[in-house]
Amino acid sequence: MSAFRSTPPTSTSRATLPRAGRRLGGAAALALAAVALTACQDGKGLQDEGAATFSDSAVATPSATATPGAGSGSASGSATKTGSATKSGGAKATGGDAKGSSDPSAEGDRVTCNGSNTAVTVQAVSRPLNHMLITVKNTGKKNCDLTYYPVLRFDEMQWAPAARKDTQPQAVVTLAPGQSGYAGALLSAADGSGEGGVTGHRLTIAFQGRTPHSDGGASAVPSLPAAGVYYDSSLTVTYWQQSASDALGS
């Protein structure tokens, strides 16, 4: 450490300096030598340690304080509990939604039956005479409601068959997935009193919405016998029924 070694003054300079100056000079030299000695002993010299940093606990403490309603204990422990509670709540909410969406009977999952979520077939029956049975099967994944009655249209028919009021059920017919509902159609009068008899080769069945005569969605076009279906001005339909026997009045 020769760079910090003090060279003794000559006798001439010692005699020239005042006594007070010599004392101050000596004190400064001793202080400088002490600093140099400390630096030499640790083997590193004077170094810039950089800006002061906070420990992990010092950073975690303000976070815990800033979270309202945090429980007692360490900041990291409180944060973990809060995160677990949030995750658990989210899982419960998700599970509830999943249950609701998978439950076809839930009110929010009920839809109107129409041609897009059902399979519709028609068939002539021998009893009662001149009747046709309409079957609607729910092919969707949600419950669907058959509201009011089917609206029939053969070919380019310009009128809509009336519904028999005495067949209106007390409640809307609701079909679970895979379940079927029914309606019956009187095609012609058995006594021949009907007028304008004609054979239809194409049948379109329209569905009603939540209010009478409103649009319930896609229509259905079921297949008819190759010979067609004969009907006249007596053509009427029943309201949707839960069973085929109710639809045919048998």
Q: What is the pLDDT along the chain (250 residues), one digit of tens a residue?
A: 444 444 444 444 444 444 444 444 444 444 444 434 344 344 444 344 444 333 343 333 333 333 333 343 433 344 334 443 333 333 333 333 333 345 555 667 799 999 999 999 999 998 999 999 999 999 999 999 999 999 999 999 999 999 999 999 999 999 999 999 999 999 999 888 889 999 999 999 999 999 999 999 999 999 999 999 999 999 999 999 999 999 998 6
Could you report how far apart the first and last alpha carbons of the chain are, in Å?
Answer: 121
Write 83-90 long-range contacts (CB < 8 A, 24+). Answer: none
Q: Is 142:174 a contact under the CB 8 Å cutoff?
A: no
Q: Is 82:70 a contact under the CB 8 Å cutoff?
A: yes
Phi, psi of 59 (to 5 degrees): -75, -40
Q: Would you state the structure tokens that stand for residue 78, as one six-digit string? A: 């409180």
- What's the one-letter identity of residue 2? S
Would the pTM of this model clear 0.85, i.e. be above it? Answer: no
Phi, psi of 76 (to 5 degrees): -65, -40
Q: Is 149:208 a contact under the CB 8 Å cutoff?
A: yes
